[in-house]
A and B are shown apart, each in its own frame.
Chain A
Amino acid sequence: MSQAVVSVNAGILLPVLAPAVGAAVVLVTDVAVQHLRRVHYLIALASLVVGAVATFAGLGMVAGAARRTLCLPAGGQCMYVADSVTTTLQLAALLAAALTLLLSWPDDKKQSPGSTAVIMSLVLTATAGATAVAGAHDVGSWLVALELATLPTVALVALRGARSAISGAIALLTAALVSFALLALSAALWFTATGSGFLTPAAALVGFHDPVRRPILVLAVVVLIAGIGFKLSLVPFHAWTPEAYDGAPLPIAAFLAGVSKIAAAAALLVVIQAVAPLGEPPLAAMAIVAAVSMTLGNIMALRQDGVVRLLAWSTVAQAGWVVLPLAAVSSAAVHASGAYLLAYVLATLLAFAVVAALVQIRGAARARDLTEYRGLLSAHPVLASALGLALLSLAGLPPGVLGLVAKVAALRPVVTSELWVLAIVAAANAVLGVAVYLRWLLKVISSPEASEQASPPAVPDGAAPVAARAIRAHPATLVAVGLTAVALVLTSLSPQMLLGMLGR
């Protein structure tokens, strides 16, 4: 059969195509009409929304069901397979990207007109890569899509042009290159071991049952986990994270913490599902990586005095929680990992959105300094409440019920597989995590005067409210804060809304 045509269903591919087409449209528009800014944002937002709507059909499908396209005529192998978990992650990536756009909505003349189109197309391209890698089931497109999700972020970080941005971008670029090298190597090993270009259980089993090729397959999986470890900022491949987050503009840091993490986790889940039938051995590495990431991430986060760096280290720790359930081999583990990822992304984006709003209100220096958060509750009660909800969700304590449910979901496969040591390490890290986020929250809720005056009766309540500066946050930023906060409240009241999307 020389027929090399694959079936194409554009409807199923729309979550990937929409942002990609959006990127192209933005660039074409920029060539046609120059000096536009808002239009680019609107085009980008529209394409993300179209992509998000297109995912609705694939949410909450029963286990085993999937939407497939790009199938080979013979044998029926498909290069694009989107089950419920995949589709939910795509939706999350698209919405997270839309949120990033809201945070960076243009309001003054600071940005040079030309760069808007560039930034928009980079954001859209990276998002397209993220949604593509989630569905990619052949080694080639998986690898290309993952790099498509990564490389634009290097430019996004660097575009600010500041010295710290350049060093952050270089850290990110180095990590991206090393991880690409590892991933390319593992792709080659995979092909050698399995003789198949597809990331499927069937292919993995072929390699596994051949005693000669089995070590190559295990090596492929281990190298691959290392490669993705860079993107997920798992210890010991995490070193670029604080540099890049701190150097990047805040919305881009949110993008790195949101969309990029979703892309990396989605890529990991594709591989995990493929190698799940092999059993525990290849995944033992996962347990160690998860335990070390959590511990180091939390300990380092505990020592940070900058808010963005704290969030950066917190993503290292949270990445450990995301891969924690994967140490156990079961389909529930993939669900649990997805659930934890969604809860983490939602809470982290809310935290970033609040910090972004505070950057606009108080200036970057104050908003990025942890000590400046003292008394935030009395100065900005709404923003402080939103931040509190986000932090408690990350800590996994009520009222952040979503975070708590995610913690339950993530621990369950570990307990089911009777990995007691890992479970105890996770419990210890739950405590460390609480310490990290409550350290920040304590500053937020403490009264502004408490540091100077020790005797509370001397200060009549509310006697000296610091005169609120007239500067207000940009409406788009506040919309972003509001939408994320509402989403977090609703999913905390009924976590099933989120978990149901991942499949029944």
Chain B
Amino acid sequence: MILLLALVIPAVTGTALILSGRAFRPSAEGNANTLSLVASVATAGFVTAAVINRPVLDQPWLPSLGVRMHFAVDGISAPLLILTAALSIAVVLNARSRPPHGGSSSTFYGCLQLVELGALATFLARDAVIFYLSFEIVLIPMWVLISRYGDSHDLAARADASGRFVLYTVLGSTLMLIGILALVQASGTANLDALAAAHGTGLARHMQIIIAALLLVGMGIKIPVFPLHTWLPPAHTIAPTAGSVMLAAVLLKMGTYGVVRLVIAPLPIGFGALAPAFAVVGVVGIVWGGLACLVENDLKRLIAYSSVAHMGFVVLGLSSGTTAGLQAALFANIAHGVVSALLFFLVGGLKERWGSADLATARAALREVSPRLGLALVVGFAASLGLPGLVGFWGEFLAMYSAWNPAPDRPQTLMRVLVVVAVLGAGVAAAYSLRVLRLIWSGDRTTPAHEDARGGEWSVLAALVCAVLVLGVAPGLVLNSTSKGVAAITMEVSR
């Protein structure tokens, strides 16, 4: 019941908001925001209740295809659910101070609600086909957010960015669907728990490799992994703030979460065979993203490239095949969710103030004219470069640590070389973070002045800064939640 409510509220609110396009006149735009805020808070309440009570919903939905409406919460999905619900409130709250441009605001909020629905359903799903369906729910609302509410300076670029986002993602998810269907067919169940418990017994090695390859390529587009990442920078650059935040902090996580659920747990042999290649592309992404950040002059695009780098650490952790590595990956997942949300809120706000996100233009130094924004920026980039004591540190440090001592069936030399390269990538991250701080935070210029963060925007930034600090000091909050589920997966992997 709790689970059903957590899904039905965003579904109904989102649909109602979109269909009621004309009911909310421009004068009453605040109403759409309030309604959306109430719905998001209620959803967050039910999600929290679900995380505490761990209810299970299991109903037949499509008997002809053997698909069940099966939703549940476990330690691996719980932090992601909380992250999704919290950020859904945050984007609505932020939009109170910075309303959307480009169309009716009720459609905007409706799309956000549907994105939340899709993300929650993805993390809750316990049926492989429902997982795929939920994965797809976020697509169209996000496409609408980018193509209608995105940066309208260059309409051709906007159409290109939204089209690229949706086409890449559809290709990825359809490949994933083929992999899921093959997995379900080969193992005889679509139940994710049963798939994880079976650990690929009875599946021939070549079959496991084929299925794992399909799934990894499919989800690699979503994560995104190095050569498949080219949709991400334009999408982030064009998307409105709320879209960028949800995209970076929630949607990318669906890919890594899917890798844990659908590849590592049910296909240990197949993943083991492909893990070295997966780790290599992850580390290439770390270096590539970092180098791109060093020269990139569009601030939003820069953060998008840094996302590619951070997700590279997640990929490295996943590939290590150890408990610590999986833990690190899941933690880095959450950490990137918090940090990228913080940075995209900041940069989205800055872009609206500045009129563009170009770093080459001389601006007033944030530390002089807007100390609140400046503080949040410093914390955000400090976390991004992996400073100990902040949230970014644990995931990346543990990922490299675990990859240095990978599972016995992984090529140790290769993994160690990759760790060395990743360390260099972390150094590049420090360089580009400091470059950005030097360009827009430090300095003495006070013109052109702009307003500091206030109201909804400031409360969101403050909450995220707190989350960065708290999770940095007490990573156990997340690690304890995921440890049990991770142990169940890797115990069998290393067997």
Residues of A within 8 A of B (CB): 335, 339, 377-378, 381, 385, 392, 397-399, 401, 404-405, 407-409, 411-412, 415-416, 418, 420, 423-424, 426-428, 430-431, 434-435, 438, 442, 445-447, 450-451, 454-457, 460-462, 494-496, 499-500, 502, 504
**Chain A residue with Cβ nearest B153:** A454
A409 to B65, Cβ gap below 8 A?
yes
A-B contact pairs, 8 of them (CB 8 A): A377-B21, A381-B19, A397-B139, A399-B140, A426-B174, A427-B177, A434-B170, A442-B147
Cβ-based interface call for B163 (8 A): yes
Chain B residues whose CB sits within 8 angstroms of the CB of A456 once the complex forms: 101-102, 152
**Chain B residue with Cβ nearest A416:** B185
Q: Tell which of B21, B103, B133, B166 touches A381, judged by Cβ atoms closer than 8 Å.
A: B21
B65 to A427, Cβ gap below 8 A?
no
Task: Given the known inter-chain contacts A415-B185, A434-B166, A455-B152, please indicate yes or no for A404 contacting B178, CB distance below 8 A.
Answer: no
B104 to A462, Cβ gap below 8 A?
yes
Given contacts A409-B65, A445-B147, 10 further A-B contacts (CB under 8 A): A381-B21, A385-B18, A398-B136, A398-B140, A408-B129, A408-B132, A409-B64, A431-B170, A461-B104, A504-B63
The tally of residues in B whose CB lies under 8 Å from a CB in A reads 47
Chain B residues whose CB sits within 8 angstroms of the CB of A418 once the complex forms: 182
Chain A residues whose CB sits within 8 angstroms of the CB of B70 once the complex forms: none
Within 8 A of A (CB), among B33-92: 61-65
State in angstroms the CA–CA spacing of A423 and B129 once bound together.
17
Cβ-based interface call for B167 (8 A): yes
B174 to A398, Cβ gap below 8 A?
no
State in angstroms the CA–CA spacing of A454 and B101 once bound together.
12
A450 to B177, Cβ gap below 8 A?
no
Q: Tell which of A401, A412, A442, A500 touches B133, judged by Cβ atoms closer than 8 Å.
A: A401
Cβ-based interface call for B484 (8 A): no
Cβ-based interface call for B143 (8 A): yes
Chain A residues whose CB sits within 8 angstroms of the CB of B174 once the complex forms: 407, 426-427, 430-431
State in angstroms the CA–CA spacing of A441 and B159 once bound together.
12
A461 to B103, Cβ gap below 8 A?
yes
State in angstroms the CA–CA spacing of A412 and B105 once bound together.
40
Shortest CB distance A426–B (Å): 8
State in angstroms the CA–CA spacing of A411 and B18 once bound together.
31
The 3 closest A-B pairs by CB, nearest first: A499-B64, A427-B174, A415-B181
A457 to B101, Cβ gap below 8 A?
yes
A438 to B143, Cβ gap below 8 A?
yes
Cβ-based interface call for B210 (8 A): yes
A462 to B25, Cβ gap below 8 A?
yes
Q: Tell which of B152, B171, B178 touches A454, judged by Cβ atoms closer than 8 Å.
A: B152
A405 to B178, Cβ gap below 8 A?
no
State in angstroms the CA–CA spacing of A377 and B104 once bound together.
11
Shortest CB distance B446–A (Å): 26
Chain A residues whose CB sits within 8 angstroms of the CB of B118 once the complex forms: 398
Cβ-based interface call for B137 (8 A): yes
Chain A residues whose CB sits within 8 angstroms of the CB of B63 once the complex forms: 496, 500, 504
Within 8 A of A (CB), among B140-175: 140, 143-144, 147-148, 152-153, 155, 159, 162-163, 166-167, 170-171, 174-175
A462 to B147, Cβ gap below 8 A?
no
Chain A residues whose CB sits within 8 angstroms of the CB of B22 once the complex forms: 381
Give the interface centre of B136, B174, B182 by most chain A CB atoms within 10 Å: B174
Shortest CB distance A20–B (Å): 32
Shortest CB distance A104–B (Å): 29
Shortest CB distance A397–B (Å): 6
Cβ-based interface call for B443 (8 A): no
Chain B residues whose CB sits within 8 angstroms of the CB of A409 once the complex forms: 64-65
B136 to A502, Cβ gap below 8 A?
no
Task: Given the known inter-chain contacts A430-B174, A442-B147, A454-B155, please indicate yes or no for A398 contacting B167, CB distance below 8 A.
Answer: no
State in angstroms the CA–CA spacing of A446 and B129 once bound together.
32
State in angstroms the CA–CA spacing of A407 and B136 once bound together.
12
State in angstroms the CA–CA spacing of A479 and B309 once bound together.
54
Cβ-based interface call for B388 (8 A): no
Chain B residues whose CB sits within 8 angstroms of the CB of A446 once the complex forms: 147-148
Q: Tell which of B143, B153, B166, B171 touches A427, judged by Cβ atoms closer than 8 Å.
A: B171
Cβ-based interface call for B26 (8 A): yes
Shortest CB distance B113–A (Å): 13
B167 to A435, Cβ gap below 8 A?
yes
Task: Given the known inter-chain contacts A385-B19, A438-B166, A462-B25, please indicate yes or no for A408 contacting B102, CB distance below 8 A.
Answer: no
Q: Tell which of B153, B159, B170 touches A397, judged by Cβ atoms closer than 8 Å.
A: B170
Task: Given the known inter-chain contacts A431-B170, A438-B163, A499-B65, please indicate yes or no for A412 contacting B152, CB distance below 8 A.
Answer: no
